[in-house]
Amino acid sequence: MTPDNKVNDLLQQMRLAVENARAANAYLPLPTASTSRAEALISSISSEESSQPHTLILLTHELMAGIETRFGIKPSSLVQRKLVRILNDMPITAMRDWVESLKNCSPDHSEWQALAENLTVQETYFCRDPELMRMLTEDILPYLIAIRKKQKKLQVWSAASSTGEEVYDLSFCALRALQNTGLGQCVNGRFLTESGWSVHVLGTDISYQALRTAKAASYSDLGMGSFRNLPQDWRIMFEDIKATPTHAVPRVNYFKIREWVRQCTRFERFNLMNTQPPALGMDLVFCRNVLIYFGDPAKKTVQTMLARAISTGGVLVLGATVKMLVPEYFESRQGKGGPWYVRNDTRL
């Protein structure tokens, strides 16, 4: 085989690898020592077009590393596939310059923000994981109401709230738990609490788009949407009248969260990789279906930040599949709906 044939052969293999990655969603590893000969051959080729597949792989790796540092999201075939799609239309020199220009930018820079919007998974719906919600209503909230009877206040945080369903679930369940213990009731569309009890639910997310939907509090019944799992007795959370928001899809029904559930809620943009939480003194924090996308070091950073946000006796819920990586700050409890963690008094 002549050197030219070898080069062509190698390039053909790389093109195929990239095509296969696009098609099969395979995660392409960075070139290793065994490919250094290949790299040498490639760098000897001046044609930009010829080195594109190799450059594309290198640049997606650089971007994935930047994304992991800034947002915690670990490199994966899904992230790589989305990046290849984003980069694919760019000329190769523009691609390199763009990635280079991002290196020293903070996570709040608009380009990183745009990447975060495109790369995050915002899947969510009301009453996700009914067993967990039952445990919340029957075990966690009664426990919190009992230990906070002096303060008469519940501070709740949904720490990756996406389009808001979890925030309204938490508000609804907390108010219902107060009602069940005789500490509040809904009168004429307003929730009245006995002797000064109050509930505050904060929803945060990295995505401005998701936060906009959350604040609008209108949800459609289109396809496998927000209502796919809604129990019959949770329907009282929504307006009877179908409210049609601006930019509504024709012939789709929209339902608005009732004022008494909305009045306890607020939303803010917050990156979970920040070391300081958006507020302290939390009694209950839900951080579900987000750390599954993070590597262990990032998970630990986030869990430490959450421990800082939660006051002694407060509760953290991570979902069943996420391992607790800072057990020194929590006492673990196992319920029918999965594990929950009670903050101990170890200082951070």
Ligand X SMILES: C[S@@+](CC[C@H](N)C(=O)[O-])C[C@H]1O[C@@H](n2cnc3c(N)ncnc32)[C@H](O)[C@@H]1O
Q: Record the tokens describing residue 120, joined without a space.
A: 């995050």
- Site pattern 8..47 for ligand X (x: CB under 6 A): ----------------------------------------
Q: What are phi and psi of 31, to 5 degrees?
A: -60, 140
Binding ligand X (rule: CB under 6 A), the pick from 10, 18, 64, 71 is 71
Angle at 233 between CA 158 and CA 162, to 5 degrees: 25
Q: Is residue 127 at the binding interface for ligand X, with CB under 6 A as the rule?
A: no
Binding ligand X (rule: CB under 6 A), the pick from 68, 135, 175, 205 is 205
DSSP assigned state of 284: E
Q: Is residue 206 at the binding interface for ligand X, with CB under 6 A as the rule?
A: yes
- Shorter beta-carbon distance to ligand X: residue 48 or 131: 131
Cα–Cα distance measured from residue 178 to residue 197, given in angstroms and rounded to the nearest whole number: 9
Q: Parallel, antiparallel, or unpaired for β 254-256 and 265-269?
A: unpaired
- Shorter beta-carbon distance to ligand X: residue 162 or 265: 162
Q: Is residue 120 at the binding interface for ligand X, with CB under 6 A as the rule?
A: yes
Please report how close the Cβ of residue 63 comes to ligand X at its closest, in angstroms: 15
Please report how close the Cβ of residue 127 comes to ligand X at its closest, in angstroms: 10
Question: Applying CB under 6 A, which part among 90-98, 118-126, 244-252, 331-339 lies near ligand X?
Answer: 118-126
Question: Applying CB under 6 A, which part among 66-74, 244-252, 253-261, 335-343 lies near ligand X?
Answer: 66-74
The site for ligand X, by CB under 6 A, has a size of 22
Cα–Cα distance measured from residue 167 to residue 261, given in angstroms and rounded to the nearest whole number: 10
Alpha helix positions (H), the chain:
3-24, 36-43, 48-71, 77-87, 92-102, 110-119, 130-135, 141-147, 165-180, 208-216, 259-262, 296-309
- Shorter beta-carbon distance to ligand X: residue 197 or 294: 294
Region 246-305 residues binding ligand X, contact defined as CB under 6 A = 271-273, 288-290
Cα–Cα distance measured from residue 324 to residue 341, given in angstroms and rounded to the nearest whole number: 9
Going through 271-329 in order, the beta strands assigned E by DSSP cover 282-286, 310-317
Collapse the DSSP code of 28 into the 3-class scheme (helix H, G, I; strand E, B; otherwise coil) and give the result: coil
Please report how close the Cβ of residue 64 comes to ligand X at its closest, in angstroms: 14
Binding ligand X (rule: CB under 6 A), the pick from 123, 194, 328, 331 is 123
Binding ligand X (rule: CB under 6 A), the pick from 121, 249, 320, 348 is 121
Burial 218-236 (b: 16+ CB within 10 A, else e): bbbeeeeebbeebeeebee
Binding ligand X (rule: CB under 6 A), the pick from 55, 60, 80, 124 is 124
- Positions touching ligand X (CB under 6 A) are 71-73, 120-124, 128, 160, 162, 166, 205-207, 210, 271-273, 288-290
